Structure 1
Amino acid sequence: MMDCTDRHFRVLMRQITRRSLLYTEMVVAQALHHGRRERLLDFDPSEKPLALQVGGDDPALLAEAADLAAAWGYDEINLNVGCPSEKVQKGRFGACLMADPEQVARCVEAMAAASPLPVTVKHRIGIDERDSYAELLAFVERVAGAGAARFSVHARKAWLTGLDPKQNRTVPPLRYDRVHRLKQERPDLTIELNGGLQDLEACRPHLQHLDGVMVGRAAYEHPLRWNRVDADLFASSATPIATPSSVVCGLVPYAEQWCASGGRLWPIARHLVHLVESVPGARHWRRRLGEAAGKATAGAEVLEQACRELEEQGL
């Protein structure tokens, strides 16, 4: 989820759930090799447990990424074999790699050999006309044999031509039955479901049969829908049930540290636009926050004021 699940949003989600595994935006292995690693890899300790999601098709570069992930303190490295964007296809990674299970296996083998971290794979149920269950099973079995520790299966196939990434998240029909069948036939594998899960209630039936669920857009667009994850799924009372005000107040120390290091407030505050919804005054609160946080000199005091306004409304 490029431009969404950055380090600031992940700290926001840690105010809501402390037990869920969080994922980075997809980082291209070649960029890690040539680019500024601190900018691409640094994270706040509060974000853990945290998986580094990478894209690529070069085993050597992906092995280097896996080694870096371990050195940086990540808990897992995840290979994205599900993104259908044209730009990603030009780099010959993402969903188009499902057409070459042997190459994916070579990548996973290299990553597993280079790092003690679990190597996991995110993928679709198929691509284009190559979308039979037999092809899905063959892909998973080959990659599992290479050392993949978990499969996060987006229960839609991807059309590599004719649909843009947004359409590929909605147009191909969801086939949850394929993912359930995969787990039934390979109970030894760790299988989790991705795609179309809008709230915790929608996840519950699948969690009775699968090992987990992965939620993307619904977590970004409606973060507080997930404020009972720790209590209900992890039976944890350590995480208070988050409210809009508790989330904003919880971000203040992080914002103070970020701004003191030279960062601007807006990259943090922009993720708060979905925090308050369907209540009177929500639009005006978002407007005031946006205007104040967008100023070059804005600091954590903007979040403190936004928190007070929410508390006054009982939110």
Structure 2
Amino acid sequence: MTAPPSIPLAQLRLSVAPMMDWTDTQCRVFHRALAPNARLYTEMVHANAVIHGDRARLLAMDPVEHPVALQLGGSEPELLAQAARIGAEYGFDEVNLNCGCPSDRVQAGRFGACLMREPALVAESVAAMVAACPVPVTVKCRLGVDDDQHYEVFLAFIEQVAAAGCGMFVVHARNAWLKGLSPKENREVPPLRYDWAYRLKRDRPDLQVIVNGGIATLEDATEHLRHSDGAMLGRAAYHDPYLLHRLDVAWFGGELRSRADLLRGLRPYVEEQLARGVYLKHITRHLLGLFHGERGGRAFRQVLSEGAHKPGADWSLIERALALTETRADAA
């Protein structure tokens, strides 16, 4: 078997997690403006939807997003292979298989976190995807399911899937509890065990290992770089997106720019989207956390939340929100 392509390490240091209902193309373009060097991920899309659904919507991607990965859900190797091929044809730089989502709907479909109990099926799926598409095929997983407490079981899962052609694993460093917890609780209640991800990197230095889960500060993220190939931020990147910019500058260099300056750089994209018939609210919903923790941040959110859904809302609303925010900051 020809060795699958690997991802340049510099592209793995900083990434933004796939998040349902959040990391659509408008969100990713915003995150790219903040962090030119981050690796971005789509929302999870089921393989069946890629094959039979509205690809123009489901696989929408702006060229500025690169490098960007398509995350797939599913458990049927033939369908995953077909969806992976389509994703590569649409220009995605990586296809990632979800083995970590714990929702009831996902379990009912026999994919997501419950696949950690079926390493042979995951390996078969990865092998089919690798054979079907020319871009790296990767896996995002948990440490285990429910009461799995043995590192050796986790390592065996990784090794079986790696042997099928997966060279990069994003490890959400906690178990998924499939009964009794909501998806939100599954992101917060099971304890984090970063040491398992670190140990995996030591045991298998040939694999690319990215740490995910509970990373909320620049200091947290930087610590992970000492033990792994990268840090993937999820909700912290969405609720406090300026953190992405701070990390990008700290890790890759460049000049720290103001929040307002970064946002104004997005104006041509916003106006292009509006001209294509996209409503402003579909863009501004991703901007609400830009002034998180800053004086004037509440005013910024309020102006956008109350005005973006109104007919004719355009860039001037964003300028009004910025002006109000800047005025309150100056008054501090």
Q: What range is the shorter-chain TM-score in? A: over 0.9
C-alpha displacement of 1:274: 0.9
In structure 2, the residue matched to 1:283 is 298
Output the amino acid matched with 1:121.
V
SS in 2 for 1:228: helix
In structure 2, the residue matched to 1:152 is 170
In structure 1, the residue matched to 2:107 is 89
The answer to whether the Cα contact below 8 Å between 1:77 and 1:120 also exists between their aligned partners in 2 is: yes
The alignment yields a C-alpha RMSD, in angstroms, of 1.5
What is the distance in 2 between the residues matched to 1:261 and 1:137?
48
Output the amino acid matched with 1:283.
R
TM-score where L is the length of structure 2: 0.90
What is the distance in 2 between the residues matched to 1:154 and 1:147?
20
In structure 1, the residue matched to 2:13 is none
What is the distance in 2 between the residues matched to 1:192 and 1:176?
11
In structure 2, the residue matched to 1:49 is 67
Output the amino acid matched with 2:320.
Q
The answer to whether the Cα contact below 8 Å between 1:195 and 1:215 also exists between their aligned partners in 2 is: yes
C-alpha displacement of 1:47: 1.1
In structure 2, the residue matched to 1:272 is 287
In structure 2, the residue matched to 1:191 is 209
In structure 1, the residue matched to 2:11 is none
Output the amino acid matched with 1:122.
K
What is the distance in 1 between the residues matched to 2:276 and 2:304?
22
Residue 74 (structure 1) aligned to one of 83, 92, 96: 92
Residue 177 (structure 1) aligned to one of 179, 187, 195: 195
Output the amino acid matched with 2:235.
R
In structure 1, the residue matched to 2:262 is 247
In structure 2, the residue matched to 1:213 is 231
Whether 1:162 aligns to 2:180 is: yes
What is the distance in 1 between the residues matched to 2:173 and 2:208?
15
In structure 1, the residue matched to 2:22 is 4
C-alpha displacement of 1:310: 4.3
What is the distance in 1 between the residues matched to 2:319 and 2:244?
23
What is the distance in 1 between the residues matched to 2:260 and 2:149?
45
In structure 2, the residue matched to 1:37 is 55
SS in 1 for 2:20: coil
C-alpha displacement of 1:69: 1.4
Q: Deviations over 1:182-241 (max 9, x none)?
A: 11111111111111111121011221121111111110111112222222222x32xx42
Which runs of 5 or more residues in structure 2 are unaligned? 1-18
In structure 1, the residue matched to 2:274 is 259
TM-score where L is the length of structure 1: 0.95
C-alpha displacement of 1:110: 0.7
What is the distance in 1 between the residues matched to 2:264 and 2:324?
11
What is the distance in 1 between the residues matched to 2:212 and 2:294?
29
Whether 1:294 aligns to 2:309 is: yes
What is the distance in 1 between the residues matched to 2:169 and 2:295?
42
Q: Deviations over 1:81-124 (max 9, x none)?
A: 00000011111100000000000001100110011100010000
In structure 1, the residue matched to 2:133 is 115
What is the distance in 1 between the residues matched to 2:287 and 2:104?
30
SS in 1 for 2:206: coil
The answer to whether the Cα contact below 8 Å between 1:245 and 1:310 also exists between their aligned partners in 2 is: no
C-alpha displacement of 1:314: 6.2
What is the distance in 2 between the residues matched to 1:309 and 1:241?
22
Q: Percent identity?
A: 50
Which runs of 5 or more residues in structure 1 are unaligned? none
C-alpha displacement of 1:6: 1.2
The answer to whether the Cα contact below 8 Å between 1:111 and 1:119 also exists between their aligned partners in 2 is: yes
Q: Which moved more, 1:119-128 or 1:10-19?
A: 10-19
In structure 1, the residue matched to 2:7 is none
Give the count of matched residue pairs.
312
In structure 1, the residue matched to 2:318 is 303
C-alpha displacement of 1:312: 4.9
Output the amino acid matched with 1:156.
R
In structure 2, the residue matched to 1:28 is 46
What is the distance in 2 between the residues matched to 1:47 and 1:160?
33
C-alpha displacement of 1:311: 4.8
What is the distance in 1 between the residues matched to 2:224 and 2:297?
33
Q: Which moved more, 1:146-155 or 1:243-252?
A: 243-252
